[in-house]
Amino acid sequence: MSLGPVMVDVEGLELTPAERERLRHPLVGGVILFARNYESPEQVTALVDAIHRLREPQLLVAVDQEGGRVQRFRAGFSTLPAGAVLGTLYDENSRRARRMAETCGWLMAVELRAVGVDFSFAPVLDLNRGVSSVIGDRAFHANPEAVAELAHAYMTGMAHAGMAATGKHFPGHGAVAADSHLSLPIDDRRYADIQVEDLVPFERLIHFGLAAIMPAHVLYPRVDRQPAGFSRFWLQQVLRQELGFQGVIFSDDLSMAGAEGAGGMLDRARAALAAGCDMALVCNDPAGADQVLDGLGAYDNPVSHLRLMRMHGRHPVTRTQIAADGDYQDAVRMVKSIA
């Protein structure tokens, strides 16, 4: 059985019989965890292990563990700084900031790998323009070159811990005030303006081997009439052809208000996959997830399957092992000093 093109979530701290059945559906390829799925490192390790034991190859298990406001697992995990903290350090001492970004990426990733999670949807590659409240301090910096440098260091740290990186939110969510969780943001800039600013971090990280990208639920009407996550122009012409990206494209959560224009949940999933996404995320809507799984029909994309397989976590490690590691102890102290 291959990895399917749909990522779903689960309700609580353990899998229910209905969830086990859903996760065995051949169209499911991954599970995203939230704060409601976390009680302790021991509990989440058991949950992830139960998910991994359901299928072969194992389902991907992901989480949003950026740091700052967006950190799903907290008690028992290191408190991670928001990206903008690293941006402030960059303005003071760029070399130290890059070293700290690499340490943060490694610490985030090794703690997740120690409980079995395959990857975090990180780093954020949006620009902190002081416009978007939903992005805000999640972004490293306003300067695209600074974002690229810090994100590259962060990605390098993740890789050393055995985790693939996912850059988001392509082609850039930082220039709009609206929150795509609540409405469809509209960015009226020309393509040329987006290209010389917001696309720079994506282009740089693609060059350095970025494994995955998540597009934004943002409409750029002077470029295309579809939001980026449903746009063949953005995903295939720009991302695949012009930027040469060969990794995974994950849709952002299709239950967000920014995706509603594509129709019902099944229509949204079909549109995202047709535009070029390798995996469609359906979160916080079990009925919607079942509609997608029941209605999507036969789906077989060997190229997507190979891309998704590369998202499995590497370098398995236990919490006992990392706790005894001097490098881990040093990283905890370093990150605590800024977080």
Smallest Cα–Cα separation from 147: which of 121, 131, 169, 177?
169
**In the structure encoding, which two tokens stand for residue 84, read together?**
């903008």
Contacts (Cβ under 8 Å, ≥6 apart) of 223: 190, 191, 194, 233, 234
**In the structure encoding, which two tokens stand for residue 41, read together?**
């490192």
Distance CA 96, CA 6 (A): 40
What is each CA distance from 47 to 12, 53, 328, in whole angstroms? Answer: 9, 10, 24
Q: Of 181, 193, 325, 327, which is the active-site residue?
A: 181
Distance CA 112, CA 316 (A): 10
Given a contact cutoff of 8 angstroms between Cβ atoms, the answer to whether 107 and 332 are in contact is: yes
Contacts (Cβ under 8 Å, ≥6 apart) of 120: 62, 63, 64, 65, 66, 108, 109, 112, 158, 163, 166
3-state secondary structure of 249: strand
Contacts (Cβ under 8 Å, ≥6 apart) of 24: 54, 55
Q: Of 252, 253, 278, 312, which is the active-site residue?
A: 252
Distance CA 46, CA 228 (A): 36
Contacts (Cβ under 8 Å, ≥6 apart) of 113: 161, 162, 163, 313, 315, 316, 317
**In the structure encoding, which two tokens stand for residue 109, read together?**
């990733």
**How many helices (H) and strands (E) in the chain?**
13, 10
Is 217 known to be catalytic? no
Is 137 known to be catalytic? no
| Catalytic sites, residue numbers | 181, 252
